[in-house]
Amino acid sequence: MSITLSSLGESTRNYSFTAATLEEAVQQMSRLGPRDGDGHHSASCDIQAGVSLQNLQISIVPGTAMFTPNVPAEFSWAATAAITQATLEYRVIFLFPQWTNVGNLSQPVQNEWRRYTGCLWRHERGHVRVAMPVLRRYVQQFQNLRITGSGQTRQSAEQIAQRDCRSQIADVYSLLARDTQEAGNRYDRSTRHGRTQGAQLRTRAARGSRH
């Protein structure tokens, strides 16, 4: 049995804005940034995961196909299927603010933006860190997945078991998506969406433009 966890890499998307001050930058991020159930955010991290269908193999567990007498004919044969090969793939998509004219502003403003975005990056990458134990746990769950099917013949029982095992993957994936989101929500609550990590723009740090 070979079930592996594979990264499809990370990508970053930006939403751009112009602003003359740090206060305006906060307003622009509030207007343009991502939103979820907690409100608006300056950045986001989307972790997408699923079982690749390209190398997915489902087989009957050896020794599980058996005939049971004295039961209705349509249930007389039973067999158990399991995933024998699969890849749980995941990709990470960041959405980040891009202050396009910050280079024209004062050095203190640039310094604060650089400090803030550095803290924001550390916070968003923390979402990946807390998601990894969830992903590894689901690799184990896919390895342990066993589905039994019944049929009138051995062949029909095996076909039903394999079919139901394949459909069960989607159900397990829905739980994976839920648990990954919940891990991210707990992380956000514990860090106050990055505020305890410095991911809050200090609008009083500086004002004005560089001449």
Closest alpha carbon to 194 in 48, 45, 49, 92 = 45
Global pTM?
0.86
Q: What are 208's two structure tokens?
A: 């004005």
**Does any domain span residue 6?**
yes
Closest alpha carbon to 24 in 121, 94, 95, 102 = 102
**Does any domain span residue 210?**
no
**Does any domain span residue 207?**
no
**Does any domain span residue 172?**
yes
As a whole-number percent, the residues of the chain with pLDDT over 70 amount to 96
Query: Residue 192: how many CB atoms within 10 A of its CB?
Result: 12
Predicted confidence at residue 172, as pLDDT, reads 86
Closest alpha carbon to 107 in 18, 210, 20 = 210
**Does any domain span residue 7?**
yes
pLDDT at 208 over 50: no
Predicted confidence at residue 209, as pLDDT, reads 42
179-198 tens-digit pLDDT? 999 999 999 999 999 999 99
Predicted confidence at residue 67, as pLDDT, reads 95
Q: What are 9's two structure tokens?
A: 């890499």
**Does any domain span residue 209?**
no
85-137 tens-digit pLDDT? 999 999 999 999 999 999 999 999 999 999 999 999 999 999 999 999 999 99
Closest alpha carbon to 149 in 57, 69, 80, 83 = 80
Predicted confidence at residue 210, as pLDDT, reads 42
**Does any domain span residue 204?**
no
59-95 tens-digit pLDDT? 999 999 999 998 898 899 999 999 999 999 999 999 9
Give the Cα separation of 98 and 25 in Å (integer): 10
Q: What angle do CA 44, 47, 53 make, to 5 degrees?
A: 155
Predicted confidence at residue 174, as pLDDT, reads 86
**Number of independent structural domains in the chain:** 1
Question: What is the domain range of residue 156?
Answer: 2-197
Give the Cα separation of 158 and 152 in Å (integer): 10
Give the Cα separation of 56 and 83 in Å (integer): 8
